[in-house]
């Protein structure tokens, strides 16, 4: 596997925004103004919100109002009216009905007679949940590791850096497959807590862990620069302890970078979920996800390409919208962005 | 049957694992289709035979361009237990007797191979004496004649390498002891190289002992063959037949060439027409269809992907064959694990499965069934104890008091097994259980589910024919004496003493209608009273060949016969 680091567009180095907390509100407002003027980013944000809407309330509404069939309801023996004719959902030779302008089976059926459009909507729910939740967990873990590493330096920094090096030394997908393969057999036991092998938490944890270095390293670099700034020294002079300094002074100043990284890593995590599910080590096969739907349609790609194309397009739109939005956020939050040709 | 019954019973170490047949592997034609096969001029037979496939005068020479989806299990006759490897071994190795190299009913006939004639049977059917041909030579580098002691060595070696076929030979006197000690040889096999005879003494009569000897497990290997898998050890991949393995690169290719030491000693072993067979490993069913259509491939071991079949039947009608096969597809309900240890639950699941619907998941390439014995066998007698009835199924589950329990359905990740497992999970959920699905690579799946340590509650299974007799579908899978810790054939752990006794008795009967009637009766009794599995389909086998490939013969045990094939110029 040659895939290594996703291009998040952020490198170790000085903070994009490194200002005392007092100036933060003004900076956020300025950033929002810049973002609103970035048409591409706004369109991308709109597309992503639409996908979110379609996958969460939209999926439920579609099932209740139009399709009347949930994502896991199998219908191998049923018939529907299509073009004025009564046609089987799955023919005797196993061929599922194709796409058509109708409420039921808008995108056709899969091999088990399930409504592909409904599964696509619910699959989006799963993939976005995994993508966003793993990005949140990944970001949280990265902050927990990155801020102390940058603030304390010394042995703490060296220890965290070596840990990040260790994770980084594995190709991402290989590491994810290895961890997933272990966890999907017996689940995960953390003390008294047992996580079932079919739980969505398994892919969420796996994906979060393998991408920690891609957020923790830039954060650490930024904190290294921030810890010598006057506002940090002033806080220490006023008697603030390390925890207070890190949470009250440093954390707000790395928030902008974190937000950009978080946005970009969501797209990456959704792609990883799709890849792992396609390989059979991601989301449980009983739960629709975009990766699972592609996997299920793979064997009929020649004769029923819509089964793989539909989730593939959904993944592509989500990833592009998040990447464009993330780029827009980075430009908006970077005070040098305007001079570099960013949004004005 | 109950879980406690199973655990209380001493288990006989007679393990017989199924062919680890991937989704589209070759299997066997139906005996019932014999007339159709014969009418097809000796071709494999089936519902859509290629009328021109065997027309013309065979031409010698040429290289057959073949392909398979993944590595074969083993090229060692002692360990090989997949349809692809038996297909190749039938062209490279020989035992005392063999199944006639023919299609249909004719292919079920046992004929002499290394033996000069059929054995002399004495001792009330417990002693078999063979005279072995002189002058049959092993391939290079061994280059010496086959001796009776080689045959004794080869059968004893099965026990030393933990062959999946040992269960077929444990009724030879002394075999059970040898299985435990691995010392002193099997006393019930007496080989005399001076008189060129070999005698087998059985502990009890067995109506299918010759069938066991005709399987590749009993092929002759030279004394001194290491007690390990020799699949990738060229100097010990020794042949006696018209072809021999020249090279094998896992995930790469297999090259089969003519055996320079072969001379035809019996008309039962044809000479062969092809000079070489080159097998490319790692070709998917879709890729194979494209390559055959483009003329880049002649032969593919696996079947046509269901979604491509209709199109190629229309476009290349003369190059498509659909064989009937004696393959039973089913879900095993593990009687050792709750809630499957309750017969009401097992019966409920049988009522709740819509078999014709499930067949659609397999591309409609087969027929629904409730029987253990495939519809292609003469012993088959249809029974219908479990018509689709969800209400009745739910009532049975309510009566069992097991509603709400967690159940996991296992399947391999080979398409369409995950879809079939999802169907079964939906059935279980509709009955009030909390069903989940677990899938894993087919390469390890069958060994995993046949292991007592994993012991899945519900698992997908597929049983292909080992030999053309109903015993293989009833006794081998449902007699408690075959329950083992590893590699068990009785995955459902059915172990009912009264049924075991009946099956043991039938096994001693001579092959024929009376014996078949008993298997049919037991088929019905087991399904009605115990429902240890959910049989749902007898699968067909669609194949697609290049236009230059002729001489197609589909044998009941060895599948497609390479020595019969020839290539037009």
pLDDT, position B185: 95
Nearest CA in chain A to B287: A302
Chain A nearest-CA distance from B195, in A, is 57
Task: Determine the average pLDDT of the residues in B53-58.
Answer: 75
| B99 beta partners | B110
* Cβ contact, residue pair A76, B418, below 8 Å: no
Using pLDDT thresholds of 50, 70 and 90, give the confidence band for residue A22: low
At residue B413, does pLDDT exceed 90?
A: no
With a cut of 60, say whether residue B472 has pLDDT above it.
Answer: yes
**Rg, chain A, Cα only:** 23
pLDDT tens profile B375-400? 989 999 999 999 999 999 999 999 99
Q: For residue A17, what pLDDT band results from cuts at 50, 70 and 90?
A: very low
Give residue for tokens 């694992």: B17
- Residue B494 tokens read as 């059915």
- Contact (CB<8Å) A299/B305: yes
Query: Alpha-carbon distance B201 to B126, whole Å?
Result: 6
Q: What DSSP string describes A270-331? A: HHHHHHHHHTTSSS-TTS--HHHHHHHHHTTTTT-THHHHHHHHHHHHHHHHHHHHHHHHHH
The residues with which A87 forms a beta bridge, in sequence order, are A80
Question: Going by DSSP bridges, is the β-strand pair B243-249/B197-201 parallel, antiparallel, or unpaired?
Answer: unpaired
Number of H helices, E strands in chain A: 13, 4
Position B53 confidence tier, pLDDT thresholds 50, 70, 90 = low
Reduce the secondary structure of A213-243 to three states and give it as a string: HHHHHHHHHHHHHHCCCHHHHHHHHCCCCHH
Could you give the CA distance from residue A136 to residue A197 in angstroms, rounded to a whole number? 21
- Enclosing H/E stretch for B433: none
User: Mean pLDDT over residues B459-476, rounded?
Assistant: 92
Of B344 and A300, which is predicted with more confidence? B344
Q: Which two tokens stand for residue B228?
A: 């390990």
d(CA B553, CA B563) in angstroms, rounded, equals 9
| Tens-place pLDDT, residues A163-222 | 999 998 988 888 888 888 788 767 888 888 888 878 899 999 999 999 999 999 999 999
Residue A339 has pLDDT above 90, yes or no: no
Q: Where residue A14 falls among pLDDT bands split at 50, 70, 90?
A: very low
Neighboring chain B residues of A112 at a CB cutoff of 8 Å: 361, 419, 422-423, 426
Q: How many pairs of residues across A and B have Cβ atoms under 8 Å apart?
A: 82
Q: Find out whether A111 and A89 touch, Cβ atoms under 8 Å.
A: no
Tell me the pairing of strands B366-368 and B533-544.
antiparallel
Q: How far apart are CA B7 and CA B241, in angstroms?
A: 45
- Is residue B308's pLDDT more than 80? yes
**Which is nearest to B327 in space by CA: B476, B108, B538?**
B538
In this prediction, residues B320-343 reach a mean pLDDT of: 94
Confidence bin at B36 (pLDDT 50/70/90): very low
Closest of B505, B479, B501 to residue B492, by C-alpha: B479
C-alpha to C-alpha distance for B372 and A291, rounded to whole angstroms:
37
Task: Indicate if the pLDDT at residue A344 is higher than 50.
Answer: no
> Above 60 in pLDDT, residue A21?
no
Cα B335 to chain centroid, rounded:
24
Tokens 């013969």 found at: B553
State the greatest distance between any 2 C-alpha atoms of chain B, in Å, as a whole number.
71
Average pLDDT, chain A: 88
The total of other beta-carbon atoms located within 10 Å of residue A175's CB is: 17
Under a CB-based contact definition with an 8 Å cutoff, are residues A16 and A27 in contact? no
pLDDT in tens, B540-560: 889 999 999 999 999 878 899
What 3-state class would DSSP assign to B30?
Answer: coil
CB-nearest to A76 from B305, B307, B360 is: B360
Alpha-carbon distance B485 to B350, whole Å? 27
- B360 shares contact with chain A (CB less than 8 Å): yes
What is the rounded average pLDDT of the residues B166-170?
Answer: 87
> B275 near B64, Cβ under 8 Å?
no
Annotate A143-182 with DSSP letters as a single string. Answer: HHHHHHHHHH-HHHHHHHHHHHHHHHTS-HHHHHHHHHHH
B162–chain A nearest CA distance, Å? 27
Confidence check: pLDDT of B156 > 50: yes
% helix / strand / coil in chain B, to the nearest 5? 30, 20, 50
- What's the pLDDT score for residue A336? 58
Test B307 with A296 for CB contact under 8 angstroms. Answer: no
Q: To the nearest whole angstrom, how far is the Cα of B434 from the nearest Cα of chain A?
A: 12
Run of H or E residues at B568: none
Please give the pLDDT value at position A68.
94
**Residues of B (416-435) whose Cβ lies below 8 Å from A:** 416, 418-419, 421-423, 425-426, 435
Task: For residue B315, count CB atoms less than 10 angstroms from its CB and return exposed for 0-12, middle for 13-18, buried for 19 or more.
Answer: exposed
**Taking the alpha carbons of B310, B311, B314, B318 in that order, is the dihedral positive or negative?**
negative
Cα separation, A240 vs A246, whole angstroms: 10
Q: Across residues B206-225, what is the average pLDDT?
A: 97
For residues A111 and B47, the model is more confident at A111
SS3 B411: strand
Tokens 């009955």 belong to residue:
B431
**Backbone phi, psi, residue B194, to 5°:** -70, -45
Per-residue confidence (pLDDT) for residue A284, from 0 to 100: 86
Alpha carbons within 13 A on the beta-carbon side of B462 = 30
Contact B34, B470 (CB under 8 A): no
Pairing of strands B63-68, B299-300: parallel
Cα–Cα distance, B339 to B341 (Å, whole number): 5
Residue B348 tokens read as: 């409920």
Chain A residues with CB-CB distance to B356 below 8 A: 77
Looking at the DSSP assignment, which residues form a beta bridge with residue B243? B258
CB within 8 Å: B362 and A197: no
Q: How far is B26 from B556, CA to CA, in rounded Å? A: 11
pLDDT the model gives residue B6: 29
Smallest CA–CA distance from A292 into chain B, residue:
B418
Burial class (CB in 10 A: 0-12, 13-18, 19+), A99: middle
The whole-angstrom separation of Cα A342 and Cα A16 is 14
- Torsions phi, psi of B181, nearest 5? -95, -30
| CA nearest to A279 within chain B | B413
Which chain A residues are Cβ-neighbours of B360 within 8 angstroms?
76, 90-94, 113
Q: Any chain B CB within 8 A of the CB of A159? A: no
Q: Is B24 helix (H, G, I), strand (E, B) or coil?
A: coil
How far apart, in whole angstroms, are the C-alpha atoms of residue B320 and residue A96?
23
The closest of A95, A86, A90 to A76, measured between CA atoms, is A90
- ipTM associated with this complex: 0.77
Given a cut of 80, whether residue B51 has pLDDT beyond it is no
State how far the Cα of A193 lies from the Cα of A203, in Å rounded to an integer. Answer: 17
pLDDT at B414 over 90: no
Nearest to A292 by CA among A66, A90, A110, A69: A110
Average pLDDT over every residue of B176-199: 95
Question: Taking all residues of chain B, what is their mean pLDDT, rounded to a whole number?
Answer: 88
Strands (E), B526-565: 533-544, 549-550, 554-555, 559-560
Write out the H or E segment, with its range, that includes residue B255: strand B253-258
pLDDT band for position B305 (cuts 50, 70, 90): confident
Q: In this predicted structure, what is the pLDDT of residue B465?
A: 86
B73 — pLDDT class (breaks 50, 70, 90): confident
Q: Which among B311, B354, B437 has CB closest to A76?
A: B354
> Mind telling me how many Å the CA of A189 is from chain B's nearest CA?
18
Report yes or no: B318 and B53 within 8 Å, Cβ to Cβ: yes
Residue position matching structure tokens 């899978």: B477
Long-range pairs, A51-54, Cβ under 8 A, ≥24: A51/A124, A51/A128, A51/A314, A51/A317, A51/A318, A51/A321, A52/A128, A54/A121, A54/A124
Kind and range of the H or E run holding B98? strand B97-99
Q: Which of A123-137, B9-23, B201-215, B473-487 has the lowest mean pLDDT?
A: B9-23
Give yes or no for A197 touching B (CB within 8 A).
Answer: yes
B244 backbone φψ class: left, alpha, beta (φ>0; ψ -120 to 50): beta
Does A259 score more than 90 pLDDT?
yes
Question: Which of A119, A94, A115, A114 shows the shortest CA–CA distance to A106?
Answer: A115
Chain B segment 292-311 residues within 8 A of A by beta carbon are 305-311
Closest to B147 (Cα-Cα) out of B160, B135, B156, B157: B135
């Amino acid at each position: 596997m040659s895939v290594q680091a996703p291009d998040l567009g952020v490198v170790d180095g000085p903070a994009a925004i490194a200002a005392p907390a007092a100036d933060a509100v003004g900076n956020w407002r300025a950033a929002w103004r810049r973002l609103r003027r970035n048409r591409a980013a706004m369109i991308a944000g709109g597309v992503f919100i639409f996908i979110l809407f379609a996958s969460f309330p939209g999926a439920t509404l579609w099932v209740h109002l139009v399709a009347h069939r949930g994502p896991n309801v199998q219908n191998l023996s049923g018939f529907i009216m299509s073009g004025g004719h009564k046609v089987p959902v799955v023919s005797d030779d196993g061929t599922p009905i194709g796409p058509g302008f109708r409420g039921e089976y808008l995108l056709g059926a899969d091999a088990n007679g399930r409504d592909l459009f409904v599964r696509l909507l619910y699959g989006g729910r799963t993939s976005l949940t995994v993508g966003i939740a793993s990005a949140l967990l990944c970001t949280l873990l990265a902050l927990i590791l990155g801020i102390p590493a940058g603030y304390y330096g010394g042995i703490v920094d060296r220890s965290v850096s070596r840990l990040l090096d260790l994770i980084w030394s594995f190709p991402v997908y290989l590491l994810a497959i290895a961890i997933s393969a272990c966890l999907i057999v017996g689940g995960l036991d953390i003390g008294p807590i047992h996580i079932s092998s079919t739980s969505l938490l398994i892919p969420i944890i796996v994906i979060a862990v393998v991408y920690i270095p891609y957020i923790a390293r830039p954060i650490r670099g930024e904190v290294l620069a921030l810890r010598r700034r006057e506002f940090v020294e002033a806080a220490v002079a006023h008697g603030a302890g390390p925890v207070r300094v890190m949470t009250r002074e440093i954390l707000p100043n790395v928030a902008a970078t974190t937000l950009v990284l978080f946005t970009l890593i969501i797209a990456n995590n959704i792609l990883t979920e799709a890849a792992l599910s396609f390989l059979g080590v991601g989301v449980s096969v009983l739960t629709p996800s975009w990766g699972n739907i592609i996997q299920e349609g793979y064997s009929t790609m020649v004769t029923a390409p819509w089964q793989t194309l539909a989730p593939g397009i959904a993944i592509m739109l989500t990833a592009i919208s998040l990447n464009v939005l993330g780029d827009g956020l980075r430009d908006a939050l970077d005070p040098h962005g305007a001079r570099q040709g960013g949004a004005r | 049957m109950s879980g406690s019954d199973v655990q209380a019973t001493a288990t006989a170490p007679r393990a017989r694992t199924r062919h680890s047949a991937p989704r589209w592997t070759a299997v066997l034609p139906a005996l019932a289709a014999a007339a159709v096969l014969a009418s097809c001029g000796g071709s494999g037979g089936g519902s859509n035979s290629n009328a021109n496939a065997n027309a013309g005068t065979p031409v010698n020479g040429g290289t057959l361009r073949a392909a398979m989806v993944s590595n074969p299990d083993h090229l060692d006759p002692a360990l090989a237990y997949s349809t692809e490897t038996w297909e190749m071994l039938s062209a490279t190795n020989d035992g005392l007797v063999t199944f006639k190299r023919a299609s249909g009913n004719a292919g079920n006939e046992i004929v002499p191979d290394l033996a000069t004639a059929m054995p002399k049977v004495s001792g009330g059917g417990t002693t078999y004496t063979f005279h072995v041909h002189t002058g049959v030579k092993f391939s290079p580098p061994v280059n010496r004649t086959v001796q009776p002691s080689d045959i004794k060595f080869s059968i004893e070696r099965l026990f030393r390498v933990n062959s999946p076929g040992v269960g077929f030979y444990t009724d030879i006197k002394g075999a059970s002891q040898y299985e435990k000690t691995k010392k002193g040889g099997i006393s019930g096999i007496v080989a005399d190289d001076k008189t060129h005879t070999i005698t087998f003494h059985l502990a009890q009569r067995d109506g299918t002992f010759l069938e066991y000897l005709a399987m590749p497990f009993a092929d002759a290997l030279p004394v001194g063959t290491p007690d390990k898998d020799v699949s990738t050890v060229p100097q010990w991949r020794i042949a006696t037949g018209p072809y021999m393995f020249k090279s094998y690169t896992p995930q790469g290719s297999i090259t089969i060439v003519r055996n320079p030491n072969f001379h035809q000693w019996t008309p039962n072993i044809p000479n062969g027409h092809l000079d070489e067979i080159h097998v490319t490993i790692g070709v998917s069913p879709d890729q194979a269809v494209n390559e055959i259509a483009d003329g880049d491939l002649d032969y593919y071991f696996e079947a046509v992907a269901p979604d491509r079949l209709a199109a190629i039947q229309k476009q290349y009608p003369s190059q498509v064959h659909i064989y009937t096969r004696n393959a039973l597809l089913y879900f095993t309900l593990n009687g050792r694990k709750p809630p499957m240890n309750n017969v009401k639950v097992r019966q409920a699941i049988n009522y709740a499965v819509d078999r014709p619907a499930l067949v659609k998941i397999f591309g409609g390439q087969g027929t629904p069934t409730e029987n253990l014995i495939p519809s292609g066998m003469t012993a088959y007698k249809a029974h219908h104890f479990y018509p689709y009835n969800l209400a009745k199924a739910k009532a049975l589950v309510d009566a069992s008091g097991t509603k709400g329990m967690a159940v996991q359905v296992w399947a391999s990740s080979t398409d369409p097994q995950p879809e079939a497992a999802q169907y079964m999970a939906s059935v279980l959920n509709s009955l009030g259980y909390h069903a989940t699905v677990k899938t894993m690579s087919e390469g390890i799946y069958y060994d995993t589910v046949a292991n007592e340590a994993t012991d899945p509650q519900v698992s997908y299974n597929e049983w292909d024919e080992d030999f053309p007799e109903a015993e293989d579908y009833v006794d081998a899978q449902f007699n408690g004496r075959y329950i083992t810790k590893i590699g068990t054939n009785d995955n459902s752990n059915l172990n009912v003493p009264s049924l075991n006794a009946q099956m043991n008795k039938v096994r001693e009967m001579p092959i024929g209608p009376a014996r078949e009637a008993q298997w049919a009766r037991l088929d019905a009794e087991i399904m009605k009273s115990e429902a240890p599995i959910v049989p749902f389909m007898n699968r067909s086998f669609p194949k697609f060949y290049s236009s230059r490939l002729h001489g197609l013969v589909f044998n009941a045990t060895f599948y497609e016969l390479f020595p019969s094939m020839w290539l037009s110029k």
